[in-house]
Amino acid sequence: MRFHIMTLFPDIFNSYMGESIMKRGVEKGIIEVNVYNIRDFSNNKHKKVDDYPFGGGAGMVMTPQPIYDTYKHIIETNNIEKPRVIYLTPKGKVYKQSIAQDISKEEDIILLCGHYEGIDERILELIVTDEVSIGDYVLTGGELPALILIDSISRLIPGVLNQNESFEEESFKDNLLEYPQYTRPREFMGLEVPEVLLSGNHKNIDEWRHNESIKITKERRPDLYKKACK
Ligand code: 6GU
């Protein structure tokens, strides 16, 4: 899987990808992250990438030319035919695990990070295939959301996580939140690990965990609980 990121802040990605579990996926050659600075593609002599909105109003809008030329460069240099281009915006469809799963099937993904008051609408018409938001709050730019997509999609690609980090049993599988986990010591500050986890009886352990998952989901996320019961 190749991620191609269009941004005005390329350093954010380079530093994040150099750390964390993402790094392993990159080193193994399973994922590739290419970062493109939109400003490098500006035809303006001062490398300007924004301008005042037609019709007036507060803030600046990202101009279409640098974004469009960055896109052209990406698809031409990487031989991409019909790319999925995801624009990160609070106006987008709210992100969730099933969207990550859907995107993880693609060979190439282009992520477009916006800034200021947004981007010229014609870019949406010309190149954007998906608009994604990461939740109902406002951020200053699409870079953190893009990293969230990269992280959540990468870990679904076989070989990025190892056995111990497996994603088979985790929150949001079957719309249930994860059961509580315990490790050594058996007693900490007077608090004991639930007896059943020490029993070695895997049928009982599975049953206990499943019940805990249901209990916590019902309590904290009645919306997910309803779906889980379907
Ligand atoms: Cl994708 N972008 C920005 N700027 N703010 C957000 C967002 C995205 N998702 C939630 N808030």
Task: Check if 144 has its Cβ closer than 6 Å to any atom of ligand 1.
Answer: no
Q: What is the pTM of this model?
A: 0.94
How many domains does one find in the chain?
2
Task: Check if 141 has its Cβ closer than 6 Å to any atom of ligand 1.
Answer: yes
**Residue 135 alpha carbon to ligand 1 centre in Å:** 7
Judge if 172 and 129 occupy the same domain: no
Q: What is the pLDDT along the chain (230 residues), one digit of tens a residue?
A: 999 999 999 999 988 888 777 888 899 999 999 999 999 999 999 999 999 999 999 999 999 999 999 999 999 999 999 999 999 999 999 999 999 999 999 999 999 999 878 999 999 999 999 999 999 999 999 999 999 999 999 999 999 888 777 666 567 778 999 999 999 999 999 999 999 999 999 999 999 999 999 999 999 999 999 999 98
Judge if 12 and 125 occupy the same domain: yes
Domain boundary among 109, 129, 154: 154
| 163 occurs within a structural domain | no
Judge if 64 and 23 occupy the same domain: yes
Question: Which CATH number fits the domain that encloses residue 174?
Answer: 1.10.1270.20
Judge if 49 and 141 occupy the same domain: yes
ipTM field: 0.97
| 189 occurs within a structural domain | yes
Judge if 48 and 108 occupy the same domain: yes
Judge if 140 and 193 occupy the same domain: no
Task: Check if 133 has its Cβ closer than 6 Å to any atom of ligand 1.
Answer: yes
Domain boundary among 123, 154, 185: 154
Please tell me whether 138 is known to bind a ligand. Answer: yes
Judge if 180 and 143 occupy the same domain: no
* DSSP string of the chain, one letter each residue: -EEEEEES-HHHHHHHHTSTTHHHHHHTTS-EEEEEEGGGG--STT---EEPPTT--SS-EE-HHHHHHHHHHHHHHTT-SS-EEEEEEEEEEEP-HHHHHHHTT-SEEEEEE--TT-B-HHHHHHT--EEEE-SSS--S-SHHHHHHHHHHHHTTSTTSS-GGG-SSS-TTGGG-PPPP---S-SEETTEEPPGGGGS--HHHHHHHHHHHHHHHHHHH-HHHHHHHT-
Residue numbers of the domain that contains 38: 2-154
Question: Which CATH number fits the domain that encloses residue 94?
Answer: 3.40.1280.10
Atom 3 in ligand 1: which residue has the minimum CA distance?
139
Judge if 62 and 125 occupy the same domain: yes
Judge if 77 and 179 occupy the same domain: no
